[in-house]
Structure 1
Amino acid sequence: MPRFPGALQKGDGGTSKIPNAREPKVRPPRGWRDTRFIPGRSLPTYTGSYPVATMEIEVPARDPRHFSNIKRDHRHVLQLETVLMTVYYPRSHSERNLAQKDKKLSRELWLGRPRVEMARGYGKFAGIGSLAIPLFLPAMFTKLPAYRNAPVADYWAPATDTKEGGIEAKTTTGSKPDGAADEPCFPLMLFSHGLGGTRTMYSSVCGEFASYGFVVCAVEHRDGSGPRTYVNHAKCGLGSMIEREKEGQIDHNAAEKTRGYDVIDYLFPKDNPYDTSPRGDKGVDTELRNAQIELRVAELEEAYYLMSEIHAGKGQNVADRNLRAEGYKASSSHGLKGVDWGRWKDRFHLDHVTACGHSFGAATVTEMLRHDDRFNYVSQGIIYDIWGAGTTPVEEEAPHHRIHAPLLAVNSEAFTYWPSNFELVESLIKEAQAEPEPSPSWLMTLRGTVHISQSDFSLLYPKVCSFFLKMVANPRRALDLNINASLEFLSLVLPTELAQVNRAYKNESLLESEASPLDRIPSTQLHRPKSELVAVRLKIRHEWLYRLSPTLFRAFDRRRAERTGRAPETGDEIWLHVKPTPESIERHLEKNEGQGQVKEEKFEQAAPMMSDETDPASKQQDATRHKTGS
C-alpha cells in the first residue's frame, strides 16, 4: 500500500502520550471473590442492565467427517465429531435457578477443566511448556461473572446501564418500548475465537453483549487452533467412537479408544510452525488454514442448528445428548441441570444473526459473510483485529461470493501498523461497500491497544500486557470501546424490533466521528514500534515511568487534562478510518424494515428442525443411555 509508509515517516517520528481517555464504565464486584484484595484473578462484571447466565453444551455433530487429508501420526487431524459451545444470555433478576435445589449457585470456570492440563496446553502453544502452570495458577480459580443454567429473562430491562443507574439497573424491570411485545425476543450472535482461544477466553465480550440483550453462542473450535480442547464421546450409540467412525470415516487411535475422549492441542504447521508471524519468510500454510476455516464454519453451522432446536422448544432433546455432564472429561457435574427449556421457546430470533469473531475468528466470519447462500440467516458481521493472512482469498470465478452485508472492523493499534494486514481489512470494507448493493461498513482503530486487548487476557493480566506489550489503553476502557462501537453498529443496521433490546447502552457516537484516513494521522500520535515488533507491541514515551504503574500514569495524564480544561474527545481514543454515507445506511434500513416478520416466519419453516422420528436421541433405546453406559 503506497501511502502507508509515508504516513509513518511524517513528523519527528516520536510517539504520543497516553490518549486522553474517558474512565471505564462502573463494574461493581459481585462478591469477595471479585475484589482486588484477593490474591487471584477476577473478571469484571458486565455493564448492561441484564444479569447474565451461561450454558455449557457439547453434542454429537449431525454429519461427522474429516476435513482435508492432513494427517499426523497416521490419522486425520481436522475432524468434526461434536460441537462444543458456551451460550451467554440475559437472565432473570428475580429468579436464579427455578429447578436447582442446591443453594450453592454455580459459575463456569474461565480456564476450564482439567485446569493444570489446560495450562499445559497454553504452555505448548506459547512455547514455554510447563512454565505456564505457575503463570496460570492465579487464574485457575477465576470464574465467569454469570450464573450457570439460570432462567432466561422474560422482561424488558431498564434503558440504563450500571454507570448511569448503578447496580440497581440489574435488579429492575423496565417498561417495554412502544409497540413491542410483552416479552423481548433477543437477537442471536455467533462468536468465533482466534488462534490460542477458547469459548471462554472472550467471556467479557460475549457477556457484555448478553448484558445488553443478546443471546451469544460462543463455539470452541476443534480445528487445532485452540491451546487444548477435549472431545467427549458417548459410551455407546449416538456419539460413540464406533458410531462416529462408521458414520463419518473418523479416525481414533488406541489411546483415545481406551480413555474414551480425544485431546486436541494447538496444531503447528509442519516446517513452518510460526506462519502467523508478520515477518515470516515462508508465508502462511494455506492448506492447513483453509481447511481449518472449512471446519470452523461447519462447527458454527452446527451451533446454529442446535440453537434452532432450542428456539423450537426442543431444548430437552439437546440436553439428552449433552456430553458436558457428570462423568465426562472436562465437564462440570452441573451439566444442564435446572434449565427450564419451556421458557426458551421463541425467545430469540433465528434471522438477522450477527457473526462476530477475533483474529482467525474474524477470518472465519469473513468466510461466512461471503457465502450468504449457505449462511442466509447471517445479516451482519463484526470483525475484531482480523488476521488477514488467514483469510480465504476471494473466489474470482464466483463473483457472487462477496460480502454483501454491513460490516464493522475494529483494529488494535498494534495491528494497524501491519501494512499488509491493514490493506486486507481495508479491502474487506470496500468489498462490502461495493456497488450495486453497497452495505454500510466501518473501519476503526482503538488507540493504545494490542492484539489481545479484545480478549480476557488484558483484563486478567493487565500488568503483563502493559509491561511487555506496551498496551497503553486501560483494558476495561478498551472493552467499553469495543462493545459501544459494536452496539452502535448493531443499532444502525438491525431492524427496529431487534435493535430495541440494547437500548441501555450509552451512545458515544464513535461511528459518527470525523473520518481519519491513516495517511493523514500525524506520526506524533502514533505508537509504532520497530519493524521486528510490528503487530506484537507498541512503543511509548517515558517508558520507565509508565512501567512503574500504568494506572497511576493514566491517572496523572487525566488530571493534567482536567487542569488545562481539556475534556476527552472521541479522537483521543479511536481513529475512524472509513465510514459509510448516511444515504447508504438509510437504504439498508429501508431494505430491512418490514422484512423482519416475513424472514422470521421463513426461517421457522426452513430451519432444520428434528421430528420425533428423526431426532438422534430417539435412535437410542434410552435417551440417557449414553450417559450411564447401561
Structure 2
Amino acid sequence: MRFPGALQSKGQTEKVPNAQKPKFRPPRSLRDKVVFPIRSLPTYTGPYPVGTMEIEVPARNPRVFSHITREGKHILQLETVLMTVYYPSSYHDRNLAVPEGKKNLSRELWLGRPRVSMAKGYGKFAGLGDFLIPFMLPTMFTKLPAYRNAPVAEYWAPEVDTKSDGVEAKTTEGIKPEGAADEPIFPLIMFSHGLGGTRTMYSSVCGEFASYGFVVCAVEHRDGSGPRSYVNHAKSSETPGSVSDAEQQGHMDHKPRERERGYHYVDYIFPKNNPYDTAPQSDKGVDAELRAAQIDLRMAELEEAYAAMCQLQRGEGEELAKTNMRRKGFKGSSSRGLEGVDWARWKNRFSLDNVTACGHSFGAATVIEMLRHTDRFTWISQGIIYDIWGAGTKPPEKESPDHRIDAPLLAINSEAFTYWPSNFELVTSLIQEAQAEPQAYPAWLMTLRGTVHISQSDFSLLYPNICSIFLKMVANPRRALDLNINASLEFLAHVLPPDLAQVNRAYKNEGLLEAEPHPLEHIPSIQMHRPDDKWVAARLQIKHESIYRLSPKLYRKLKRRAAEKHGRRPETGDEVWLHVKPTAAVLEDFERKHGGRSRSLEAVTEGALPVDDISTEDSRMEKGSERAELEDGVDG
C-alpha cells in the first residue's frame, strides 16, 4: 500500500513524534501510586474537581428494534437507559454529600459490578473466554478519579489549570467574567461509546471535559455493542419499567429465569455467519442490517438519556431518583445509589440547548446520524467524532436532501485509522458534507501521530505496555489524551455561544486547529508509521524498534532532551497532522448567523481550501489493484 503523492524519504521511520510533555496529573492517594494489583487512571487536569452519578431509569417508550432474534428473543430492545453523568463538582461542599453513617464519598468502579461477570463479558467479546479474567484482575480494583454524588459546582473556576497552579486550582474559586451570571451555566455533552465500550470506558475523556466546566452524559448502549451490560427490572409490577409493563407496552421478550431474578444482561452480538464484519479484510463486508438497527436503538437511548437530563435540570431529581435502578437491591449497583445528592442545586445548572454530540468509533457513526437528523435532535448544535468507524455509518439518503450533516464538526483520527483507505475517504467526505452549500458549517479533520484506535479510550492508559508492544502505539497515552481534549476544547470555544464558551476558560490553547494544513499526500513517508496491509487500521509499524522497546518512556525523554539541547522546541506538526480546516468565509458566515466567536480568525483559517478544492482522489490510498470498500470495517 502506498500514498500516490506522498513524499518519499530514505532512512527509518521516526519512532516517536517530537512531543511535548503530558499535562501535570498529581496522584491523589495511595491507590493512584500503586502499580499492582491496582491500576489507576490519571487525575483530571482542569480547575474543577469531578463528580459522577450512576443512573438507570425506565425508558418512556420501551420497544423493540428490528426483527432480528436469537434463541427466539429479540436482541435489540429498549427497556431502560443506563448512564454515568460526569460533572464539575464543588470541593468546598463535598462533606455535605456524605451519606449518614459513611466516612466519606465513594468512587465509581471502572469495570463495574459484578466484576468477574463483567470480565467474562470482555473475554467473550475478545474471543478469549475466561482466560481473560486474570488479565482483567487489576482493573477490577480501578476506580474513577471522581467522587460519587458530589455537589455540583455553583462557582466560576479560576482561569488556571493544575499545571500552572497545582492542585490548589481545584480548591479555588475564580472571578466571574464581566457581565456573566454569578453562577455558571455548564454546557452539556452527550457521549456515545464504540464497539466493546461501556459508559466508563472513556472516563478519562468524559472526566477531562467535566474538569473544564462541562456536564457529560455517557450512555451505556444495550444494543449488543458492549461487552456486557445488566438491565434491571422494576421491583413492583405496578411500577414503570416492570417486566409486565415492558412486555405489554413494548412487546419485549423475557425468559422465565429473567423474570424471576429481576434482571437480564446483554452481551456483545456477533453477526451471524460473519462474526468479524468489523475487520478491513472481511470478505463479506459489514452486516448493514444489524449495524443500522443498532444505530437506531442507540439514538433512541440517547434521546431517553437526554429526557432524564431534562428532568434533572428542571429540578425534578427526586422523582428521577425514585425510578433509579442503580441502587441497593438491584443488579450491578453500588449500595450508595444516589444518596447524598442535593437535587435543588441541579436546577438550571446546565444548558439543554447547544448540546454537543460526541462519540468514538461506532459511537462517532451514531453522532453522524444524529447530526443528519437535526430536525429530530433539535437540541444538538455540533459534533465531535473520535476515530469514526466509517463502515458503521448509514449512507446519506439521496431521496432526502435534508438528510445531511447540519452542524459544525470536528473529526480526530488515530494514525492507525488514517492508513485505512476507505475509512479516510469516508471521514473526508463527512467534512465535505458539513461544509457543503447551501448551508456550510465549519469542520476540521486531523490525525494524532503515533496513536492507535484505542488511544482515545481508557484502555491505553490502563494497559500502555500492551498497546505499545502489540499495537505499536508510540505516542504517550496521556499526551494523546491531552491532544484529544485540547483540540476538542478549542473547537467548542469556536462554535459554542459566548455565554457557554466562557465557562471553559482554563484550558491551554495549543493552536491545534490553527496549524498549517498537512494534506495527506504531502506528508513525508519518514514521518509515517504505516503498517503492512494485513495490519491496516489495527496497529502501526516501527522499524528497528528493539532499542525503543527497552523503555518507551525513557526513549521519549531522551529524545525530548536532545531536541532541547539543540534548541528545537516541539511544534504542532510534530504531534498532529491537520488535514482540513474551514475557510474564512465559512467561519465568518457561521459566526454571523449563530453568534459564535473566534479568537483569531486569520490563524484559524490560514491555508484552508474551499470545500470544492478538498482533494479526496489524490489522497486516497491504493491497496494492490483493489480498493477497500466502505462496507469493510474494524472494531468500532
Instruction: State the TM-score bracket (shorter-chain normalisation).
Output: over 0.9
Q: 2:3 aligns with which of 5, 8, 14?
A: 5
- Segments of structure 1 that go 5 or more residues without pairing to the other structure are 596-630
The alpha-carbon deviation at position 255 of structure 1 amounts to 2.0
TM-aligned CA distance change 1:489 to 1:191, over 3 Å: same
**Alpha-carbon distance between aligned partners in 2 of 1:378 and 1:504, rounded to the nearest angstrom:** 24
- AA in 2 matched with 1:473: A
**Where does 1:585-604 land on structure 2 (aligned, <5 Å)?**
585-593=587-595
1:554-585 superposed Cα distances (whole Å, 9 cap, x missing partner) = 11111121122111000000000000013322
Q: 2:46 aligns with which of 42, 45, 48?
A: 48
The answer (yes or no) to whether the contact 2:6–2:522 under 8 Å persists in 1 is: no
**Alpha-carbon distance between aligned partners in 2 of 1:590 and 1:157, rounded to the nearest angstrom:** 29
**Alpha-carbon distance between aligned partners in 2 of 1:207 and 1:454, rounded to the nearest angstrom:** 13
Counterpart for residue 409 of structure 2 = 407
**Alpha-carbon distance between aligned partners in 1 of 2:275 and 2:95, rounded to the nearest angstrom:** 46
The alpha-carbon deviation at position 16 of structure 1 amounts to 1.8
**Alpha-carbon distance between aligned partners in 2 of 1:170 and 1:521, rounded to the nearest angstrom:** 41
1:252-310 superposed Cα distances (whole Å, 9 cap, x missing partner) = 11221122111100000000000000111100000000000000000000011111111
Counterpart for residue 210 of structure 1 = 210
1:187-236 superposed Cα distances (whole Å, 9 cap, x missing partner) = 00000000000000000000000000000000000000000000000112
- AA in 2 matched with 1:184: P
**Alpha-carbon distance between aligned partners in 1 of 2:261 and 2:318, rounded to the nearest angstrom:** 28
The alpha-carbon deviation at position 542 of structure 1 amounts to 3.0
Quote the RMSD (CA, aligned, Å): 1.3
The answer (yes or no) to whether the contact 1:13–1:523 under 8 Å persists in 2 is: no
Counterpart for residue 382 of structure 1 = 384
Counterpart for residue 496 of structure 2 = 494
**Alpha-carbon distance between aligned partners in 2 of 1:481 and 1:62, rounded to the nearest angstrom:** 38
Counterpart for residue 436 of structure 2 = 434
**Alpha-carbon distance between aligned partners in 2 of 1:97 and 1:81, rounded to the nearest angstrom:** 35
Counterpart for residue 223 of structure 2 = 223
TM-aligned CA distance change 1:7 to 1:256, over 3 Å: farther
TM-aligned CA distance change 1:97 to 1:368, over 3 Å: farther
1:483-517 superposed Cα distances (whole Å, 9 cap, x missing partner) = 00000000001010000001000000000000001
The alpha-carbon deviation at position 5 of structure 1 amounts to 3.1
**Alpha-carbon distance between aligned partners in 2 of 1:249 and 1:331, rounded to the nearest angstrom:** 27
**Where does 1:163-562 land on structure 2 (aligned, <5 Å)?**
163-236=163-236, 237=238, 238-562=240-564
- AA in 2 matched with 1:436: P
- AA in 2 matched with 1:544: S
Counterpart for residue 622 of structure 1 = none
The alpha-carbon deviation at position 12 of structure 1 amounts to 4.2
- AA in 2 matched with 1:121: G
Three-state SS of the structure 1 residue aligned to 2:487 is helix
The answer (yes or no) to whether the contact 1:492–1:585 under 8 Å persists in 2 is: no
- AA in 2 matched with 1:464: I
User: Is it true that 1:80 corresponds to 2:82 in the alignment?
Assistant: no
**Alpha-carbon distance between aligned partners in 1 of 2:125 and 2:11, rounded to the nearest angstrom:** 35
**Alpha-carbon distance between aligned partners in 2 of 1:520 and 1:97, rounded to the nearest angstrom:** 56
The alpha-carbon deviation at position 363 of structure 1 amounts to 0.1
Counterpart for residue 25 of structure 2 = 27
**Alpha-carbon distance between aligned partners in 2 of 1:151 and 1:373, rounded to the nearest angstrom:** 34
Q: 2:16 aligns with which of 10, 15, 18?
A: 18
The answer (yes or no) to whether the contact 1:192–1:218 under 8 Å persists in 2 is: yes
TM-aligned CA distance change 1:594 to 1:484, over 3 Å: closer
The answer (yes or no) to whether the contact 1:149–1:339 under 8 Å persists in 2 is: yes
The alpha-carbon deviation at position 9 of structure 1 amounts to 7.7
Counterpart for residue 137 of structure 1 = 137
**Alpha-carbon distance between aligned partners in 1 of 2:35 and 2:539, rounded to the nearest angstrom:** 29
- AA in 2 matched with 1:181: A
The answer (yes or no) to whether the contact 1:208–1:483 under 8 Å persists in 2 is: yes
Runs of 4+ in 1 over 4 A off after TM superposition: none
Three-state SS of the structure 2 residue aligned to 1:108 is coil
- AA in 2 matched with 1:5: F
User: Is it true that 1:574 corresponds to 2:580 in the alignment?
Assistant: no
The answer (yes or no) to whether the contact 2:62–2:250 under 8 Å persists in 1 is: yes
Aligned length: 593
- Segments of structure 2 that go 5 or more residues without pairing to the other structure are 598-636
The alpha-carbon deviation at position 594 of structure 1 amounts to 9.2
**Alpha-carbon distance between aligned partners in 2 of 1:432 and 1:544, rounded to the nearest angstrom:** 44
The alpha-carbon deviation at position 545 of structure 1 amounts to 1.4
The alpha-carbon deviation at position 38 of structure 1 amounts to 5.0
Counterpart for residue 63 of structure 1 = 61
- AA in 2 matched with 1:234: A
Q: TM-score, normalised by structure 2?
A: 0.92
**Alpha-carbon distance between aligned partners in 1 of 2:295 and 2:36, rounded to the nearest angstrom:** 40
1:149-204 superposed Cα distances (whole Å, 9 cap, x missing partner) = 01000000000111111111000000000110000000000000000000000000
**Where does 1:85-124 land on structure 2 (aligned, <5 Å)?**
85-99=83-97, 100-101=99-100, 102-124=102-124
**Alpha-carbon distance between aligned partners in 2 of 1:286 and 1:149, rounded to the nearest angstrom:** 40
**Alpha-carbon distance between aligned partners in 2 of 1:7 and 1:510, rounded to the nearest angstrom:** 24
**Alpha-carbon distance between aligned partners in 2 of 1:324 and 1:382, rounded to the nearest angstrom:** 29
The alpha-carbon deviation at position 39 of structure 1 amounts to 3.7
**Alpha-carbon distance between aligned partners in 1 of 2:189 and 2:332, rounded to the nearest angstrom:** 25
**Alpha-carbon distance between aligned partners in 2 of 1:288 and 1:234, rounded to the nearest angstrom:** 29
Three-state SS of the structure 1 residue aligned to 2:4 is helix
The answer (yes or no) to whether the contact 2:449–2:577 under 8 Å persists in 1 is: yes
**Alpha-carbon distance between aligned partners in 1 of 2:134 and 2:466, rounded to the nearest angstrom:** 14
The answer (yes or no) to whether the contact 1:41–1:138 under 8 Å persists in 2 is: yes
Three-state SS of the structure 1 residue aligned to 2:94 is coil
TM-aligned CA distance change 1:304 to 1:566, over 3 Å: same
- AA in 1 matched with 2:40: S
Counterpart for residue 599 of structure 1 = none
Three-state SS of the structure 2 residue aligned to 1:54 is strand
- AA in 1 matched with 2:135: L
The alpha-carbon deviation at position 147 of structure 1 amounts to 0.3
TM-aligned CA distance change 1:592 to 1:9, over 3 Å: closer
**Alpha-carbon distance between aligned partners in 1 of 2:497 and 2:79, rounded to the nearest angstrom:** 36
The answer (yes or no) to whether the contact 1:233–1:240 under 8 Å persists in 2 is: yes
Three-state SS of the structure 1 residue aligned to 2:141 is coil
TM-aligned CA distance change 1:8 to 1:519, over 3 Å: closer
The answer (yes or no) to whether the contact 2:122–2:227 under 8 Å persists in 1 is: yes
Q: TM-score, normalised by structure 1?
A: 0.93
Three-state SS of the structure 2 residue aligned to 1:350 is coil
The alpha-carbon deviation at position 132 of structure 1 amounts to 1.0
